[in-house]
Structure 1
Amino acid sequence: MGLGFFGLSTYVFTAVVLRALGPERFADFNLFWGLAYGVGLGAMLPFEQEVSRRTATAVHTDGRVGRTLTAGVTVALAFSVVLAALVLPFVLHASGGANSLLWLVTTSSFVALGIAYVSRGLLSGRSSFGRYSAQFVAEGAVRLALVGLCVAIGVANPWGYAAVVPVALLVAVAVTWRRDERLMSTSPSLVRDVALSMAPLVVASLISLTLVNLGPVAIRYVQDVPDPTHDGSYLAAAFIARLPIFAFAAVQAVLMPRLARAVVRNDAADFRATVLRVLVPTLALGLIGVVGVAVAGPWLLALLAGPQYDLPRLDMVLLTAAYACYLLTLVLQPSAVALGKHRASAVVWVVGALTFAVAWLLPTDASTAVSIAIATVSLTVSAGLGWVVRRGLSSGGFAQRTAYRT
């Protein structure tokens, strides 16, 4: 329910921004969105999975949750600084005269995302799903309040709307943080261990989220003749196509701690049954999304963004089908992580990323090429991760192989 509210608030937020900025200026806003939720979320989302895994294990073993929390926050802040430095050259070459504002709101979002996803990993690992839900509700509510304020005072540039994102994240963490969840003194070895565990996960997640959020942006670079209005419409349609991903986020929050507990108990049968129980409705969710867009895609686009946004129905269906394929990776990636297959999952994503370039070169129109490329990567990665998980379960004693230092 909390994630449902957050998803709805995100679409309301997007609809307001789309209408306030128009297709061309929304393309500039989407540059920030791609950096924040392609690069930033790509680096920080794995913290939820890894902190959740370590917290769930600590709860069932030594109970030292505070040390994991401290190590997670430390590594997340360090990663934020590195990301800010890495995107600076790209920002300096961005069009327009607001490079410093773009870099400021993007860096702020990196920090806020890091803190938020460490917090969510803690809540997920402790099965505190009431507060997990409350954090998403708070973030969505603050977004809506602030975007309403931006419209009321007549904000006309994209960076004012972009600043809403980090503020909402930090407020949501603050209102759901409990006093007993204090940062405890931790050892350099644990911080180093978390950093080493996170490195391959960040590689995999950066490729994954870049595919989801920056994939549609690639349409700018495969068109023979640039069309800003078409680009903006395609980016708006991508928000509709990604709707099943929002719905699936609730499943991911519960999935990791359950898989981690199965590993602690060395219960391969429960692990396998949990993965299969999630895969079936995931396939159904993706199919529902494709059928929904096939029936009402153009109407939904007009409802979300306004009549000035227009995209052929076939392009919307292909893009939605591509994201439906991506849903499979959202089940298999945490399954591989729960088994401790961090490096193997990263290798699979690197191989998958190479297929994007190959599919991109197909002799077809720009919209179709991007959709086929996203679907190709998703199916390639799903097959690879499926093999990694199957191999991890096929031989005995998998709990011992997934143990980590505490």
Structure 2
Amino acid sequence: MTAPAFARRRLGPPALMGGGLALVGAAGYGFLALSGHTLPTGDAAAIASLYLLINIIGPGVFTAVEQEASRSISSGMAADVVRRRATVAGAGLLGLVVVLLLAVSPVLVPEAFGGRWALFAALVLGSATSAAVYLVRGLLGGQRRFGGYAATLAFEGVGRLLPCILVAVLAAPGSAAYGLLFAAGSAVGVLAGLPALRGGVPGNEGAPERSLTAMAAAIAVLAGATVLAQLVANLAPVIVSARLDEDTATAAAFASAFVLVRIPLFLFAPVQALLLPTLTAAATRGDLADFRRKLRLILTSVAVVGAVGVAVSFALGPWALRVFFGARVALPGVLLGWLALGTVALMVAQVLQPALVALGMHRATTLSWLLGSVALTGLLFLPGDPVDIAVLAQLTGSVLVVAGMVIAARTALRGPVKR
């Protein structure tokens, strides 16, 4: 038995994917720490901007390619057909991203990169490698080859960090080298996942074929959903920082609290890739009873994990902010508890989104995120204490997303599944 097969049998897909995700996260923190310690302040700030932009564009845009590819294969379409059509649709989406980046580059490069055009090239490269790795993950997820999926995560993390360490040790590091190497790291994840794609699974002869146009439209709708999800998840601390421009200590403490309470959401991230193929298969069979049973089971697990997270945030959050984040302003435990409750709502949305995608309810997914983002944005600018307003806005926006998804799921489960 090979080592990967032994690991899959002993650990199981959730543990493997969690380990891979941990490596990606650790590589990100390590990359920022390395650049911060070896580069001048201006270069380090520009590298941090590149890191944030790549990690917004990847999950915020190209997760849609992953989810639609996974759903299409899980519904019975031949993997080779899905690969060809998803590649074309993903390339079109990448082209749109590059055009938009070129359009904003006269402002983006001076403001975010300090005039360093090499980092803009790294951003375009990072967008391309992100598109490729999310496509590979969609194909692997749809075929339930989660060992290969986990390998894309682990090798992406190693591929991002290790070359930068070598440059730091063996040569004089520079922002261009760091940026280009980090952006190329996702390509290592692609190469790691390709062996697991050999020998594609046959499709279901009875499954309806979907045109390239239909797949591209579905990906575009899901891309809108994932971009809005990024907005709901990350806008509040940005607005708080802007409104508290003269109270940077409180703004920094709130941003740290935001990161702290999101730890369960980060650890829960692989659930969509694991859940989507299973739910799609049940929906394709028309076994909605099994669909409901699986959905209730995972939602119950979220409720348990979320309750623990809220309690820990309430009791230990202020201490953790002071000890681990060096917060200079003490935030009350009640505030962290409410923020953690918003995180629980986002975890529920992470479960409901693949459920809606499996049911063919792509537009309902996007509309739910749109509802939450409109409410969040509007509330963030209400008069009053910016931190209290942000907590209210975050919780309200997240709950509205869940409410929209619940209504859509209940409606879909009463009728035939969309294709």
Tell me, yes or no, if the aligned pair for 2:352 and 2:406 is still in contact at 8 Å.
yes
- Give the drift of 1:289: 2.8
Which runs of structure 2 are paired with 1:300-319 in the superposition (5 Å)? 300=320, 307=326, 310=328, 312-314=330-332, 317-319=337-339
CA distance in 1, matches of 2:174, 2:308: 37
CA distance in 2, matches of 1:76, 1:116: 11
Within the candidate set 254, 263, 275, 2:283 is matched to 263
- Give the drift of 1:164: 4.7
- Give the drift of 1:297: 3.9
Aligned partner of residue 93 in structure 1, secondary structure: helix
Tell me, yes or no, if the aligned pair for 1:116 and 1:169 is still in contact at 8 Å.
yes
Check 1:311–1:93 CA distance in 2 against 1; reply closer, same or farther (3 A cut): farther
User: What does residue 67 of structure 2 align with?
Assistant: 49
- Give the drift of 1:38: 2.7
Query: Does residue 1:66 correspond to 2:66, yes or no?
Result: no
Check 1:369–1:389 CA distance in 2 against 1; reply closer, same or farther (3 A cut): same
CA distance in 1, matches of 2:165, 2:337: 32
Taking only aligned residues, the RMSD between alpha carbons, in angstroms, comes to: 3.1
Tell me, yes or no, if the aligned pair for 2:225 and 2:370 is still in contact at 8 Å.
yes
Tell me, yes or no, if the aligned pair for 2:164 and 2:181 is still in contact at 8 Å.
yes
Q: Deviations over 1:14-48 (max 9, x none)?
A: 443257538x8676555334432334321111222
User: What does residue 4 of structure 2 align with?
Assistant: none
- Give the drift of 1:214: 4.6
Within the candidate set 133, 150, 157, 1:116 is matched to 133
Give the TM-score taking structure 1 as reference length: 0.83
Which amino acid counterpart does residue 172 of structure 1 have in structure 2?
G
Check 1:275–1:189 CA distance in 2 against 1; reply closer, same or farther (3 A cut): closer
CA distance in 1, matches of 2:118, 2:310: 37
Q: Deviations over 1:112-141 (max 9, x none)?
A: 221111111111111111111222222223
Which amino acid counterpart does residue 346 of structure 1 have in structure 2?
T
Which runs of structure 2 are paired with 1:14-29 in the superposition (5 Å)? 14-16=28-30, 17-18=32-33, 21=36, 29=47
Q: Deviations over 1:159-180 (max 9, x none)?
A: 6555454322110110220273
- Give the drift of 1:387: 0.3
User: What does residue 353 of structure 1 align with?
Assistant: 373
User: What does residue 100 of structure 1 align with?
Assistant: 117
CA distance in 1, matches of 2:118, 2:251: 23
Q: For structure 1, which runs of at least 5 residues remain unmatched after alignment? A: 183-187
- Give the drift of 1:4: 2.6
Which amino acid counterpart does residue 156 of structure 2 have in structure 1?
E
Tell me, yes or no, if the aligned pair for 1:39 and 1:210 is still in contact at 8 Å.
no
CA distance in 2, matches of 1:218, 1:33: 20
User: What does residue 143 of structure 2 align with?
Assistant: 126
Q: Which has the higher contact order (CA 8 A, sep 6+)?
A: 1
- Give the drift of 1:52: 0.7
User: What does residue 191 of structure 1 align with?
Assistant: 212
User: What does residue 219 of structure 1 align with?
Assistant: 240
Tell me, yes or no, if the aligned pair for 2:380 and 2:393 is still in contact at 8 Å.
yes
Q: Deviations over 1:154-200 (max 9, x none)?
A: 6475x655545432211011022027368xxxxx9832221111121
- Between the aligned residues of both structures, percent identity stands at 24
Query: Does residue 1:142 correspond to 2:163, yes or no?
Result: no
CA distance in 2, matches of 1:349, 1:297: 28
294-303 or 281-290: bigger deviation:
294-303
237-246 or 36-45: bigger deviation:
237-246
User: What does residue 221 of structure 2 align with?
Assistant: 200
Give the TM-score taking structure 2 as reference length: 0.81
355-364 or 367-376: bigger deviation:
367-376
CA distance in 2, matches of 1:20, 1:389: 45
Tell me, yes or no, if the aligned pair for 2:241 and 2:252 is still in contact at 8 Å.
no
User: What does residue 387 of structure 1 align with?
Assistant: 407
Query: Does residue 1:343 correspond to 2:363, yes or no?
Result: yes
Aligned partner of residue 211 in structure 2, secondary structure: helix
Which amino acid counterpart does residue 210 of structure 1 have in structure 2?
L
Aligned partner of residue 363 in structure 1, secondary structure: coil
User: What does residue 185 of structure 1 align with?
Assistant: none
CA distance in 2, matches of 1:251, 1:221: 33
- Give the drift of 1:299: 6.0
Query: Does residue 1:31 correspond to 2:49, yes or no?
Result: yes
Check 1:10–1:133 CA distance in 2 against 1; reply closer, same or farther (3 A cut): closer
Q: For structure 2, which runs of at least 5 residues remain unmatched after alignment? A: 1-14, 201-208
Query: Does residue 1:285 correspond to 2:299, yes or no?
Result: no
